[in-house]
Each structure stands twice: as structure tokens, then as C-alpha cells.
Amino acid sequence: VLDGVLLALKAYSQITEIVVVGDEGEIRRALSASGAREARLRIVHASEVFTMEDKPLVAVRRKKDSSLIRAIELVKEGKAEAVISTGNTGGLVAAATLKLRRLEGVDRPAIATFVPSLKGQFILLDAGANPECKPLHLVQFAVMGHVYAREILGQKRPRIGVLCNGTESHKGNDLTRDTARLCQEVDFNFLGYVEGNDMFAGNVDVVVTDGFVGNIVLKTIEGLGKCIVRTLKSELTANPIRQIGAAVASGALRGIKRRMDPDAYGGAPLVGLNGTVIKAHGSARETAIKNAIRVATETIQHRTNEHICREIAAAHHKLAARAAVDAGAPEFPVHKKNEDLAAKL
Amino acid sequence: VLDGVLLALKAYSQITEIVVVGDEGEIRRALSASGAREARLRIVHASEVFTMEDKPLVAVRRKKDSSLIRAIELVKEGKAEAVISTGNTGGLVAAATLKLRRLEGVDRPAIATFVPSLKGQFILLDAGANPECKPLHLVQFAVMGHVYAREILGQKRPRIGVLCNGTESHKGNDLTRDTARLCQEVDFNFLGYVEGNDMFAGNVDVVVTDGFVGNIVLKTIEGLGKCIVRTLKSELTANPIRQIGAAVASGALRGIKRRMDPDAYGGAPLVGLNGTVIKAHGSARETAIKNAIRVATETIQHRTNEHICREIAAAHHKLAARAAVDAGAPEFPVHKKNEDLAAKL
């Protein structure tokens, strides 16, 4: 983690300070071992650790001096703009949601993951924060993913799709059908249903699904990716001739690694909260940490949360207007509160 | 398809006859063009085609002379033991279910797909026949997958897992939790929840999920697989040096193809029906067709459906006994009908 922090401070001069939260003695020892001197690195001591085994809601209450809670509190108190954690995902989601609160109009924060495709990356969300969702939650995920695809991936007109078991409109379940129906009302480039092939062929920029399916899909991608890399390695080292071939073609192998590298984004934003929250992979190495810090920096610089608030409000307005039309009421003026709409949908 | 049929007839002497159903003139022309003579190949004419665009339930009623319906009827009438189709999946599921009927004790037929892993293959089911399932359906899928893993993959004690967004027991949703609770009562090697990494590391033989998630996962695997193969090809042919390296290491590339080849099984059984039904991929080539025929042959020779009936009945008996214990009734004798149990669970 420290190596990644030092890489990021060197690469991004716009960062004024990175606060490393944890056991101060341990951090100081690691820093002096690395011999690094960096004026923009500050240490905040925390005596506890929020472990992978901790039950999120229990530990949020009990481990008040854990590095996770302390780091989130820095954001809450305005002493930091973003928090990055490689730790317990459920703990990060629970603690960040409780302490930072949701952005206005957002019912559920979601984990937005960047996944490599043949033509760049796509955003998959929710990758695991909400195992059970309602259609309006998925519409909000679509809006937040849209903002991230535009601001962070640089897509001018991001293409939004709902992940489904087929592209025909009669496919799916109640959740996907209602989500697709609502997304058609929102002012973005909505493709309808998408499938695995669409994701990896680069035909979609934002793939919307609930956190149960999204997490399963993400772990399937990680599991298959590892399996193919291990198969490739074992086949290429099986005998000396193959090893020579692999050495000659080593540029290609590096190219594949670069293009399919999950570390290229290094962190998945937990979108929809007051503050920037990035979940880095538990096995993240320095490049992944550096890139997670880059994503946090870009998220702040692009004022992503302001865009989200504005576009969520606009989407709700559109949906409320449509609901009013469907109910036979005059289309304008519409002043429904978001909560009423959420309850209705 | 014809090339695959000819390959299979050559490879498997135990096959007494393969009936090719479709436009007789077209099949005869293709056969004479190939110059093949094969006494065990018979043609049955069908004047219609069940297309990919056809709505399953509509086409099942209207296209009575389609090759799909005619082929299934051969099985229904006892003139064939298995039907293999590369066509419309929904059409195959609908037509086969309506015409062949479910095996006793099976509430829903499921598509069982063989997927390559680091240590062989695993079976993923349901891969798309039932977008919405109840816990007892998933338990039945587990039992049917167990029989296939034992009889077709040759696993002595197949390991069964429920696909979930985490391996801890508090993860999942009502469907996965109730399924896991019921699976614990069944007399097989039940692991609990599994994730993407478990599948591809070869830690599980039968992965159980509903047809919505299963189909999304299968298409994610196919989409990512294609993406990686295309990336590998474009990187390895990007310049002459890499092309030389790839040529030298070509054994490795063939090895990967062999180990990760989706054509190795070529067909996904639709399990739970009176008769053997195999869905081959729409883009199946001759090897895939040959292997789909092999899977059909093995399914018949191993009397897979008899095993399924016996083991489904035993599982229901166990679950009914457990339900009776939970209700405070004496454990034996239990003579609940399966339908009552299905309604209850």
C-alpha cells in the first residue's frame, strides 16, 4: 500500500496530501525501510483492524478505533476528500453509508467496477453492495454509472444496458423488465438488455444489475481470467521449445497483460455517498493502489458527486412526470418527493 | 452437422442409427457432395424450420412439420432415444417439455452445461431453461447435476455447490439460503455456497443456480473467453517477431485450445425429461456435433434418467422426513407425494 501511495504522490502533483491511517509504529518502520521522504504523506494512528472475518454492522459499532472507521471519519469531518480501502467490502459499504450518508436522491450506494473489454473498459454496477434491489435502485445505478463513464472513462455518450439472460424484451424477470421500462424514460443512451458478449465486445459502457448477480459475474470474470492465465503459463513453460517461443513473443504476453490488467483501474468506486469512497482489491499491489488513488483524484476533480445529484434529480423528475401522465394527471407541474417515487416504484 | 454425424458414426460403433431430420433434398445433396456412404444414417423429411426468431410456445403449436418437432416426436414414439438440436433453445425446451413430459419427481427440466476448469470440467445448471425458480427446483437441479457429474464426468463423489455472492452462510438471498438448507439434507457431497474462483480452480463439480443467473454467467464466460482469444491472436500477430515466437510455442497454444475448448462437450443436456435431449451450440462445428452425440450416447448407456428418478425420489423422501421432524410429527413412515412437498417448499 505504501509503495502505491508513494508512486501516486510522485505521479499526481495535484494531490496535496495523502493520509495513511493505521498502526503508526508499523507504518513508520515500513516508511524508513523504504527510505522514502515525502512531505505530502501524513500518518493518522488507529489501534484496531477491521478484519475480513468481522461482521460489518457489529464491527462498525465496536471497532471505533479501526483504520477503516478512522479513515472514513476524516472524510466525514472534511479533513479528506476521498477514502480508499483494500479491506472488508461489507465493512466499507456499511461504515461509509452510515457515516457519510447517501447523496440526495440516491436510495442505495453501489459498487462500480471497471472491467476491461476488447475496446477499452466498461463499468459494471452494482458489483456487490446490494444483493436485493428494486427497479428504481437499478435506474439510479444506471444514472451514476452514466456519470462515471462520461467523467472517468471519457465516453461522450455512454451506452447503458441492463444485464439479462437474452436481449429480447420478453426475456428477464420483473426486476429487469421494470428497470428497462423506467430507463427508457431517462435522458441517456439506453440500449435495453445486454449479455456477456456485448460487455466484452465493447458494445456497452455501463452494465446495470443487482449486487447479487453483479458480484457473481465479477467473480466469474476474475476466476476465469486467473484460470486462463494459469493455463497459458503452464502450457508455455511445459518444455524448453515453448519457453523459447514465449520469450520471443514476450511482447505479446506483456501486451495481453496490459490490455486485460484488472490493476489498470485498481479500485472500484462506491458511488452515491457524500464523499469519494474507493474499494481497492484485497490483493492490490502498488500499481493497483496508485491507480485507485488516480480514480479518487479524477472523481473529485470532475465533481462527480455534483453531476450525480443533478442527474439523479433530473431522472426522478422525468419518471415522476411519466408516472403522472400514466395516472392521467396533467403532466406539469410535478413536485413529487423522491421518497414518494421510490415507495411507488 | 452432417460432418459431425459422420464423425460420430465412425467413432462410436455402439450407435445403431442416427436419424437426420430436415429438408430431405438439401440433406441428400449435402451427403452426395461429401461422398460419404453410411448405412446407419437415415433421413426423415421435415418441411418447416423452427427459426431463432420464432416465439417458442407459438411455434410449437404452429410448426408441426418443423425438424425440431419431428425429431422430438421420434423420441416420444420410441423411434429414437435421444434428440440433439443446434436450434432455438427456448423452442427446444418448450417442445421437449410439452412432448416428452418431465421425469417423475422433476418439477422443471434444466439445461446442464459442461464448463472447462483448471482441473477438468464442472457442470453449471440451470443455464437458461427457468429464469425464475423455487428452492426445491434448485435442489432437483443439484440431484440431476450430481447424477451427470458421476455418470458422464466420472466423478466418484461429485462436489455440489450453490452459486452465490460470497461463501459465508449469511450471504445470498432467500432462494440461495433455502436451497442450501435443503441441500444439506440430501445425501450428497454438498459444499454450500461457491463463487467464480471455486468454479475455475476446479473445487466444485456441480454448480447450481437459477436459469437467469446461470444464463448470464454462461454468456459472461463465453464473452470473456472470446475476448481473451481475440486479444491473444491480435497480440501474437502484431509483428513478425511475435509471429515467430507464436509459431515456436504453437504446441502451447494448441494445448490451451484443447484444455479450454467449449467444443469438447459440444452439447448441453436438457435434464429431467423422458428421453435424452441435447442442446448443441448454434455455432457448433463438426467436433462439437460429434461430442454432443457422444454425450447423448453416454447418457443413454449409463441409464442416467433411471438414476435421476431414483435419486430425486430419495431426496424428496429425505426432505419430507425432515419436514415431518420439523413439524413435530413422527419421522416414519412418510408417504408424502412430491407435489405436496413442492407446494410446501
B240-259: pLDDT as tens digits: 888 888 888 888 888 877 77
Residue type, A28: R
Q: How many CA atoms lie within 13 A of A50 on its CB side?
A: 33
Q: Taking 50 as the threshold, does the pLDDT of residue B86 lie above it? A: yes
Contacting residues for B338 by C-beta, under 8 A, at least 6 apart:
B104, B105, B313, B316
Q: At CA A207, angle to CA B161 and CA A86, rounded to 5? A: 65
Closest-CA distance, B260 to chain A, in angstroms, reads: 8
Contacting residues for B79 by C-beta, under 8 A, at least 6 apart:
B19
Contacting residues for A287 by C-beta, under 8 A, at least 6 apart:
A4, A7, A263, A266
Q: Please check whether residue B130 is in contact with residue B108, taking contact to mean a CB–CB distance below 8 angstroms.
A: yes
Closest-CA distance, B271 to chain A, in angstroms, reads: 19
Do the Cβ atoms of B216 and A231 come within 8 Å? no
Mean pLDDT of chain B: 90
Nine-digit cell at B88? 432455438
Q: Taking 70 as the threshold, does the pLDDT of residue B333 lie above it? A: no
- Mutation site, B217, B230, B234, B261, interface A, largest A CB count within 10 A: B217
Tell the residue number behind the cell numbers 415507495, with chain if given: A343
The sheet carrying A120-125 orders its strands as: A113-117, A120-125, A206-208, A159-163, A189-194
With contacts defined as CB-CB under 8 Å, which chain B residues touch A249?
Answer: 236, 241-242, 244-246, 248-249
What is d(CA A13, CA A284) in angstroms, rounded to the nearest whole number? 23
Closest-CA distance, B330 to chain A, in angstroms, reads: 38
With contacts defined as CB-CB under 8 Å, which chain B residues touch A242?
Answer: 248-249, 251-252
Do the Cβ atoms of B165 and A251 come within 8 Å? no
Q: Tell me the β-bridge partners of A207.
A: A124, A161
For chain B, the three-class secondary structure string (H helix, E strand, C coil) is CHHHHHHHHHHCCCCCCEEEEECHHHHHHHHHHHCCCCCCEEEEECCECCCCCCCHHHHHHHCCCEHHHHHHHHHHCCCCCEEEECCCHHHHHHHHHHHHCECCCCCCCEECEEEEECCEEEEEECCCCCCCCCHHHHHHHHHHHHHHHHHCCCCCCCEEEEECCCCCCCCCCHHHHHHHHHHCCCCCEEEEEECHHHHHHCCCCEEECCHHHHHHHHHHHHHHHHHHHHHHHHHHCCCHHHHHHHHHCHHHHHHHHHHHCHHHCCEEEEECECCEEEEECCCCCHHHHHHHHHHHHHHHHCCHHHHHHHHHHHHHHHHHHHHHHHCCCCCCCCCCCHHHHHHHC
Q: Please check whether residue B131 is in contact with residue B111, taking contact to mean a CB–CB distance below 8 angstroms.
A: no
The percent of residues in chain B predicted with pLDDT above 70, rounded, is 93
Q: Please check whether residue A187 is in contact with residue A156, taking contact to mean a CB–CB distance below 8 angstroms.
A: no
Residue A210 DSSP class: -
pLDDT band at B331 (very low <50, low <70, confident <90, very high): very low
What is d(CA B249, CA B242) in angstroms, rounded to the nearest whole number? 10
pLDDT of residue A50: 87
With contacts defined as CB-CB under 8 Å, which chain B residues touch A248?
Answer: 241-242, 244-245, 248-249
Q: Please check whether residue A299 is in contact with residue A276, taking contact to mean a CB–CB distance below 8 angstroms.
A: yes
Rounded to whole angstroms, what are the CA distances from A155 to A11, A159, A291, B134? 24, 9, 19, 41
Q: What is the pTM of this model?
A: 0.90
Helices (H) and strands (E) in chain A, counts: 14, 11
Q: How many CA atoms lie within 13 A of A223 on its CB side?
A: 24
pLDDT tens, position by position, B71-82: 999 999 999 999
With contacts defined as CB-CB under 8 Å, which chain B residues touch A236?
Answer: 249, 252
pLDDT of residue A331: 45
Residue of B nearest to A232 (CA): B256
pLDDT band at B23 (very low <50, low <70, confident <90, very high): very high
Contacting residues for A53 by C-beta, under 8 A, at least 6 apart:
none
With contacts defined as CB-CB under 8 Å, which chain B residues touch A259?
Answer: 231, 235
Closest-CA distance, A328 to chain B, in angstroms, reads: 33
Q: At CA B192, angle to CA B189 and CA B197, rounded to 5? A: 105
What is d(CA B59, CA B53) in angstroms, rounded to the nearest whole number? 10
Q: Is B184 exposed, middle or buried (0-12, 13-18, 19+ CB in 10 A)?
A: exposed
Q: Please check whether residue A91 is in contact with residue A287, taking contact to mean a CB–CB distance below 8 angstroms.
A: no
With contacts defined as CB-CB under 8 Å, which chain A residues touch B235?
Answer: 251-253, 255-256, 259
Q: Please check whether residue A116 is in contact with residue A261, taking contact to mean a CB–CB distance below 8 angstroms.
A: yes
Q: Taking 50 as the threshold, does the pLDDT of residue B336 lie above it? A: no
With contacts defined as CB-CB under 8 Å, which chain B residues touch A94?
Answer: none
User: What residues of chain A score a pLDDT lower than 50?
Assistant: 331-339, 342, 344
- Mutation site, B53, B134, B219, B241, interface A, largest A CB count within 10 A: B219
With contacts defined as CB-CB under 8 Å, which chain A residues touch B55?
Answer: 170
Nine-digit cell at A96? 461509509
With contacts defined as CB-CB under 8 Å, which chain B residues touch A250?
Answer: 245
Q: Please check whether residue B211 is in contact with residue B110, taking contact to mean a CB–CB distance below 8 angstroms.
A: yes
Q: Taking 50 as the threshold, does the pLDDT of residue B337 lie above it? A: no
Q: Taking 70 as the threshold, does the pLDDT of residue B276 lie above it? A: yes
With contacts defined as CB-CB under 8 Å, which chain B residues touch A238?
Answer: 251-252, 255
Rounded to whole angstroms, what are the CA distances from B17 to A21, B79, B86, B280, B293? 72, 10, 19, 19, 11
Do the Cβ atoms of A172 and B249 come within 8 Å? no
pLDDT tens, position by position, A228-275: 888 888 888 888 888 888 888 888 888 877 777 766 667 899 999 999
Give which of B54, B21, B64, B101 is closest to B273, Cα–Cα.
B101
Q: How many CB pairs under 8 A join A and B?
A: 192
Strands A267-271 and B206-208: unpaired
Residue A190: phi and psi, rounded to 5, are -95, 125
Do the Cβ atoms of B166 and A215 come within 8 Å? yes
* Candidate from A195, A230, A241 with C-beta closest to B219: A195
With contacts defined as CB-CB under 8 Å, which chain B residues touch A215?
Answer: 165-166
Q: Which of the pair, B56 or A338, is modelled with greater confidence?
A: B56
pLDDT of residue B188: 94
pLDDT of residue A239: 87
pLDDT band at B231 (very low <50, low <70, confident <90, very high): confident
Closest-CA distance, A219 to chain B, in angstroms, reads: 5
pLDDT of residue B50: 87
Residue type, A49: V
Residue of A nearest to B127 (CA): A165
* Candidate from B166, B222, B245 with C-beta closest to A245: B245
Closest-CA distance, B239 to chain A, in angstroms, reads: 9
Residue A307: phi and psi, rounded to 5, are -60, -45
Q: Is A299 exposed, middle or buried (0-12, 13-18, 19+ CB in 10 A)?
A: buried
Rounded to whole angstroms, what are the CA distances from A280 to A20, A85, A264, A287? 15, 6, 11, 11
Do the Cβ atoms of A248 and B242 come within 8 Å? yes
Give which of B123, B194, B199, B122 is closest to B163, Cα–Cα.
B194
Q: Please check whether residue B345 is in contact with residue B182, taking contact to mean a CB–CB distance below 8 angstroms.
A: yes
What is d(CA B20, CA A191) in angstroms, rounded to the nearest whole number? 40
Q: Tell me the β-bridge partners of A49.
A: none
- CA B196 vs. chain centroid, Å, equals 19
Q: Please check whether residue B275 is in contact with residue B75, taking contact to mean a CB–CB distance below 8 angstroms.
A: yes
Q: Taking 50 as the threshold, does the pLDDT of residue B317 lie above it? A: yes
Q: Tell me the β-bridge partners of B276.
A: B82
Q: Is A165 exposed, middle or buried (0-12, 13-18, 19+ CB in 10 A)?
A: buried
Q: Which of the pair, B36 or B22, is modelled with greater confidence?
A: B22
Give which of A130, A223, A175, A174 is closest to B225, Cα–Cα.
A223
Rounded to whole angstroms, what are the CA distances from A64 to A27, A42, A67, A76, B79? 20, 20, 9, 14, 72
Residue of B nearest to A242 (CA): B249
* Candidate from A196, A224, A256 with C-beta closest to B216: A196
Q: How many CA atoms lie within 13 A of A151 on its CB side?
A: 22
Q: Tell me the β-bridge partners of B115.
A: B122
What is d(CA A238, CA B252) in angstroms, rounded to the nearest whole number? 8
Residue of B nearest to A247 (CA): B245
Do the Cβ atoms of B251 and A230 come within 8 Å? no
pLDDT of residue A308: 97
Average pLDDT in the B300-312 region? 96
Do the Cβ atoms of A216 and B196 come within 8 Å? yes
Do the Cβ atoms of A239 and B251 come within 8 Å? yes
